[in-house]
Structure 1
Amino acid sequence: MNDDARTNIGTPAPTPAGPGSAELRDQVERTRDELGQTVEALAVKADLKAQAKEKTSAVKGQAAEKAALVTEQIREKTGRAAQLVKDVTPDPLLEKAGQAATAARANHTPLLVVGAAVVVFLLVRRSRGCRR
């Protein structure tokens, strides 16, 4: 190998000025274009971060659709159950329950205090039972 060959590594060889040189240049250009497209396609396939983002977005969309569907199903079933309870429950009991709910809403502070006292009482009783 001579010194000229070593220094010209990677540089294109001079193109001959003959009749086939235009065809050769066109073929080289096509090959370069194809190679560039192949490199771009490989870069897209190798971009794992972009692929993960796309997959995450797709899964997030599917989860949102599923959640909306389940929420709608729960609302329908809850409405049916409430109507069934209302149909089966006698009217006087419904009236009493409505009155109790109204009274509880009006006096929620005393109910919270009584509930907290019951919880404290049960916790103290439970802790004393564990010591014996």
Structure 2
Amino acid sequence: MNDDARTNIGTPAPTPAGPGSAELREQVERTRDELGQTVEALAAKADVKAQAKEKAAAVKDQAAEKAALVSEQIRETAGHAVQLVKAKTPDPLLEKADQAVTAARANRTPLLVAGAVVVVFLLIRRGRGGRR
């Protein structure tokens, strides 16, 4: 090897100035672009962490959609059940139930105290019954 060969290692070869040189440069550029896209695609496939995040996000979105759908179905079913119960229940009974609800809301504290007294009474009675 002579000194010229050693100094030219790694340097690009001179480009021909002929009519086919522009075509050759375009082909080289296309090949570089395709190679760059291929490398990017391979890098994306090799990025397991990013793939896992994308999959988790997709599953999360699916779960949210499914939950919203099920929630809507439950609301509709509950609404139909309420309508069915109202349709089948006689009007006088509905009026009495409405009055009872109104009275219970107006007198919450006494009702809670009465309920607590009943629970305590039952617990004491149950405790004494086991000793006899």
In structure 1, runs of 5+ residues without a counterpart are: none
The equivalent residue for 2:96 is: 96
Name the CA distance, whole Å, in 1 between partners of 2:48 and 2:125.
59
Report deviation, 1:30: 5.0
Partner of 1:113: 113
How many residues are matched?
128
Residues 125 and 84 of structure 1: is their aligned pair in 2 closer, same or farther, counting only changes over 3 Å?
same
In the TM superposition, residue 18 of structure 1 has moved relative to its aligned partner by 9.3
State the AA in 2 paired with 1:97.
A
Mapped to 2, the partners of 1:131 and 1:51 lie a distance apart of 66
Q: Hey, what does 1:50 align to over in structure 2?
A: 50
Structure 2 counterparts to residues 1-132 of structure 1, below 5 A: 11-12=10-11, 14=13, 22=21, 30-120=30-120
1:108 deviates by 1.4
CA distance in 1: counterparts of 2:45 and 2:110, whole angstroms: 65
Shift of 1:33: 3.7
Identity of aligned residues (%): 72
For 2:35 and 2:123, the matched residues in 1 are separated by 75
Cα distance in 1 between the residues matched to 2:108 and 2:65: 38
Calculate the TM-score normalised by the size of structure 2: 0.65
